[in-house]
Amino acid sequence: MPDRLPEFRLGSVLSTSFTATLTERRGDPVERIPTPQRLLDWLAVNGLPVGSCTTDEFTLARQLREAIHAAATARASDHPLPPQAVRTINDRTTQGRPAPVLTLDGRREWRLDGVTDALAVIAADAIGILTGEREGRMALCASPTCRAAFFDTSRSRSRRWCEMNTCGNRQKKARFLANQRRTGGDTPAGDA
């Protein structure tokens, strides 16, 4: 048995789920798509199944991931969009030809010829959240070792963590332990 590969973080927003294939960016980074095959697995899990991935396509995928991360981080921080990131995102949308198709049970599926088409879908999704076309707010995870950009669609727009059951819980636990150390008692962890 080979070593177990890091699991995927599944979110409801395609492009930030994609940037979350590299986590703990400010700590000990965890690469969740270390190989082209793992990228194919991720695409399949996210409704973008394609058959094969070349080394070049794999490089383009990771470039797109970092471009989306850079652009989303800039957006969340009210900084101008980095031109190189914008170029990369646009290259991916313009070079793919993904076709959305309607299924008989009323879902959308993608007809894709290869990784290029799948990346175009992800890049287009990123444009949707970066332009503010979609309801929500770009934000950065409050965890200092994470700082992932995520798209907050909560009603109050006050989400603090990219994921409650990873970064959120870890922060809560850390605060709880710090409180305990300070007071020597079992002080509650405080608000979420």
Contact between 124 and 13 under an 8 Å Cβ cutoff? The reply is no
Residue 50 interacts with Zn ion (CB under 5 A): yes or no: no
Among 123, 141, 159, 171, binds Zn ion (CB under 5 A): 141
Q: Smallest distance from the beta carbon of 77 to Zn ion, in angstroms? A: 15
Only segment of 12-20, 86-94, 165-173, 181-189 that touches Zn ion (CB under 5 A)? 165-173
Residue 112 interacts with Zn ion (CB under 5 A): yes or no: no
Contact between 152 and 139 under an 8 Å Cβ cutoff? The reply is yes
Residue 60 interacts with Zn ion (CB under 5 A): yes or no: no
Among 39, 60, 162, 171, binds Zn ion (CB under 5 A): 162
Residue with smaller CB distance to Zn ion, 27 or 132: 27
Helices (H) and strands (E) in the chain, counts: 6, 6
Residue 171 interacts with Zn ion (CB under 5 A): yes or no: no
Residue with smaller CB distance to Zn ion, 115 or 139: 139
Residue 167 interacts with Zn ion (CB under 5 A): yes or no: yes
What whole-number distance in Å separates Cα of residue 62 and Cα of residue 65?
5
The count of other CB atoms within 10 Å of the CB of residue 138 is 20
The count of other CB atoms within 10 Å of the CB of residue 185 is 7
Q: Smallest distance from the beta carbon of 90 to Zn ion, in angstroms? A: 27
Q: Smallest distance from the beta carbon of 161 to Zn ion, in angstroms? A: 5
Residue 140 interacts with Zn ion (CB under 5 A): yes or no: no
Residue 143 interacts with Zn ion (CB under 5 A): yes or no: yes
Q: How far from 148 is each of 16, 105, 138, 143, 152, CA to CA, in Å?
A: 9, 35, 10, 8, 12
The residue ranges of DSSP E strands in the chain, in sequence order, are 22-23, 30-31, 99-102, 108-111, 137-140, 149-152
Residue 22 interacts with Zn ion (CB under 5 A): yes or no: no
Only segment of 67-75, 117-125, 139-147, 180-188 that touches Zn ion (CB under 5 A)? 139-147
The count of other CB atoms within 10 Å of the CB of residue 84 is 13
Residue with smaller CB distance to Zn ion, 160 or 187: 160
Cα 72 versus chain centre, distance: 10
Q: Point out which residues bind Zn ion (CB under 5 A).
A: 141, 143, 146, 148, 162, 167
